[in-house]
A and B are shown apart, each in its own frame.
Chain A
Amino acid sequence: MSVLRPLDKLPGLNTATILLVGTEDALLQQLADSMLREDCTSELRVHLANSLPLPSTVARPRIDLIVFVINLHSKHSLRKVEESLHHVDATFFLGKVSFLVTGAGRESHCSIHRNTVVKLAHTYRSPLLFCDLEIEDFRATMAQRLVRMLQICAGHVPGVSALSLLSLMRISENPSLEDL
């Protein structure tokens, strides 16, 4: 069970589970708290992990959305995310994976170039979100956005599926990205 698959478990009734993967424990915890504070008709579950594969000893519900959190100040977070990506099944990348980049605001502390993460998101055909998770207001807005995405990925929004959301998000991106 070392590879995460999107459809290998049955969904829970009205439950939506998100998995946040990243090395920045404090930021993930704060983001999780912001998400749980959101008003939502579905029952939210937030799982946090430093890296994949997840330990198989714990029983966990079906994961609807995986968000990989990369901190531009730390190359270690990028390496860990890259290693974790190998443990995710290819069918997950049909709209159920997203990359979240933090730390782009403080240019002087960045040790990763923005283009690197842009290329990574493009390679995996997944949306890339930028947010400074250390600032509370931005974090709250991003939490709202993630909750909406999670509801769609869990199938709780009639008429919109994860795949259609993915194509909608792709259109609004910079068209020159296709030339990468």
Chain B
Amino acid sequence: MDSYDAAESTPRQSASLKLKDYFIGTTPLQKRLESVRKQTSFVRTPPRRKIPQCSQQQEDVDPQKVAFLLHKQWTLYSLTPLYKFSYSNFKEYSKLLNAFIAAEKQKGLAVEVGDDFNIKVIFSTLLGMKGTQKDPEAFLVQILSKSQLPSEHREGKVLWTGWFCCIFGDSLLETVSEDFTCLPLFLANGAETNTAIIGTWFQKTFDCYFRPLAINAFNLSWMAAMWTACKMDRYMATTEFLWSVPCSPQSLDISYAIHPEDAKALWDSVHKTPGEVTQEEVDLFMDCLYSHFHRHFKIHLSATRLVRVSTSVAAAHTDGRIKILCHKYLIGVLAYLTELAVFQIE
């Protein structure tokens, strides 16, 4: 509170209304400082009780429109708030980004010839991809190849897709001032070079920062428990876990596949409070799997590192790759990822 005390002593009579707001009251900066201060104490952060979002999902998400988001491998990044981003300038952004990509490719970084200059960039909004009304709209960036035959295909082949969203990002939204748009989660599918180029353009234009979002074993076990808890009519895929055993000269991978109904039965026997998932339940669920494996193979899986979790709802890899398989729980999965992204930004 030292800065606050120093502020009191400055002459306030000459201060304009704006300056007064800076020193008194909860400005976004004050809120930001408060949240940073809270972060340094050990008590605030998890383990905490979480509600699996599988029970509350938005009915107005049109399954047709978001079908292209499913069954695709997305690479995750966390993104700091965008400065002076406007949803009405999409045409202008498309043109600028198009020119930027063309310039980058002409610099000689990408050696392929042919379709480089026949690309088109499209910005569009993704309606319905939000948790609460306060969340900013999600938007999508696509790179399409302009086909050579104008008559046949009006829309070219999609080369790269990236979308920005924010689901239940309340903790970040309240600490940020109006000039900033908070879309902390960025998902990309396509060539890595395109992701890098687009990332550079966004960083230059909106003064933001991308960071790859890694998911550690702790969060992967939470995801496994939450997604197993989701009620599904039919199971499309087996529940599968992948562990990496650190041993020289090369690491060993252990894969453990369970029938999804068995996993759900195990979860139901562990789960107590309806609508909530607690740390103890997650630990107990994973411990049951570990002890079952140990009984048969005498290997302590708890000493290894959980690297991949795959259920009928979604599959996640520790390097920050995700594939969502079920549109019913799309918002729920994204909400947890948004929380991880916000946590990484802060």
Q: Is A112's beta carbon under 8 Å from chain B?
A: yes
Question: In the complex the two chains form, what is the Cα distance from A110 to B222 in whole Å?
Answer: 13
Question: In the complex the two chains form, what is the Cα distance from A118 to B47 in whole Å?
Answer: 11
Residue of A nearest to B283 (CB): A75
Question: In the complex the two chains form, what is the Cα distance from A86 to B133 in whole Å?
Answer: 51
Which interface class (under 10, 10 to 19, 20 to 34, 35 or more) fits B?
A: 20 to 34
B43, A180: Cβ atoms closer than 8 Å: yes
Question: In the complex the two chains form, what is the Cα distance from A174 to B42 in whole Å?
Answer: 8
Which residues of chain B are near A14, meaning CB under 8 Å? none
A111, B46: Cβ atoms closer than 8 Å: no
B302, A113: Cβ atoms closer than 8 Å: no
Question: In the complex the two chains form, what is the Cα distance from A75 to B302 in whole Å?
Answer: 5
B43, A176: Cβ atoms closer than 8 Å: yes
Q: Is A114's beta carbon under 8 Å from chain B?
A: yes
Question: In the complex the two chains form, what is the Cα distance from A5 to B177 in whole Å?
Answer: 59
B42, A74: Cβ atoms closer than 8 Å: no
A79, B47: Cβ atoms closer than 8 Å: no
Choose one: A75, A107, A115; the contact of B42 (CB below 8 Å). A115
Residue of A108, A112, A118 contacting most chain B CB atoms (<10 Å): A108
Contacting B at CB under 8 A, from A139-180, are 174, 176-177, 179-180
Q: Is A77's beta carbon under 8 Å from chain B?
A: yes
Which residues of chain B are near A109, meaning CB under 8 Å? 216-217, 305
**Total A-B pairs in contact (CB under 8 Å)?**
58
Determine how close the nearest CB of chain B comes to the CB of A109; give it in whole angstroms.
Answer: 6
Q: Mark A113-127, 1 if CB is under 8 A from B, else 0.
A: 111101000000000
Contacting A at CB under 8 A, from B281-307, are 286, 290, 300, 302-306
Question: In the complex the two chains form, what is the Cα distance from A108 to B290 in whole Å?
Answer: 21
A111, B45: Cβ atoms closer than 8 Å: no
Q: Is A23's beta carbon under 8 Å from chain B?
A: yes
Total residues of chain A contacting the partner, CB 8 A:
23
Residue of B nearest to A74 (CB): B303
B218, A112: Cβ atoms closer than 8 Å: yes
Q: Is A37's beta carbon under 8 Å from chain B?
A: no
A113, B41: Cβ atoms closer than 8 Å: no
Question: In the complex the two chains form, what is the Cα distance from A118 to B44 in whole Å?
Answer: 12
- Given known A115-B45, A115-B47, A180-B43, contact A107–B302 (CB-CB < 8 A): no
Question: In the complex the two chains form, what is the Cα distance from A35 to B87 in whole Å?
Answer: 61
B41, A174: Cβ atoms closer than 8 Å: yes
- Given known A23-B303, A74-B303, A79-B302, contact A111–B43 (CB-CB < 8 A): no
Q: Is A73's beta carbon under 8 Å from chain B?
A: yes
A111, B42: Cβ atoms closer than 8 Å: no
A113, B46: Cβ atoms closer than 8 Å: yes
Question: In the complex the two chains form, what is the Cα distance from A133 to B221 in whole Å?
Answer: 25
Question: In the complex the two chains form, what is the Cα distance from A107 to B78 in whole Å?
Answer: 15
Q: Is B214's beta carbon under 8 Å from chain A?
A: yes
Question: In the complex the two chains form, what is the Cα distance from A177 to B42 in whole Å?
Answer: 7
A77, B303: Cβ atoms closer than 8 Å: yes
Q: Is B318's beta carbon under 8 Å from chain A?
A: yes
A111, B318: Cβ atoms closer than 8 Å: no
B47, A116: Cβ atoms closer than 8 Å: yes
Which residues of chain B are near A79, meaning CB under 8 Å? 302
Question: In the complex the two chains form, what is the Cα distance from A176 to B306 in whole Å?
Answer: 32
Which residues of chain A are near B46, meaning CB under 8 Å? 113, 115
Residue of B218, B221, B286 contacting most chain A CB atoms (<10 Å): B218
Choose one: A76, A108, A115, A174; the contact of B216 (CB below 8 Å). A108
Residue of A nearest to B214 (CB): A108
Question: In the complex the two chains form, what is the Cα distance from A7 to B321 in whole Å?
Answer: 54
- Given known A108-B318, A109-B217, contact A114–B47 (CB-CB < 8 A): no
B42, A76: Cβ atoms closer than 8 Å: no
- Given known A76-B300, A116-B47, contact A111–B306 (CB-CB < 8 A): yes
11 contacts between A and B (CB under 8 A): A23-B303, A75-B286, A76-B302, A77-B303, A111-B221, A112-B218, A113-B218, A114-B42, A114-B45, A115-B46, A176-B41
Q: Interface of B with A (CB < 8 Å)? A: 41-43, 45-47, 214-218, 221, 279, 286, 290, 300, 302-306, 318
Give the 7 A-B CB pairs with smallest separation, nearest first.
A111-B217, A76-B303, A75-B302, A76-B302, A108-B214, A176-B41, A74-B303
Given contacts A75-B302, A176-B42, 13 further A-B contacts (CB under 8 A): A73-B305, A75-B290, A75-B303, A76-B300, A76-B302, A108-B318, A109-B217, A110-B217, A114-B45, A115-B42, A115-B47, A177-B42, A177-B43
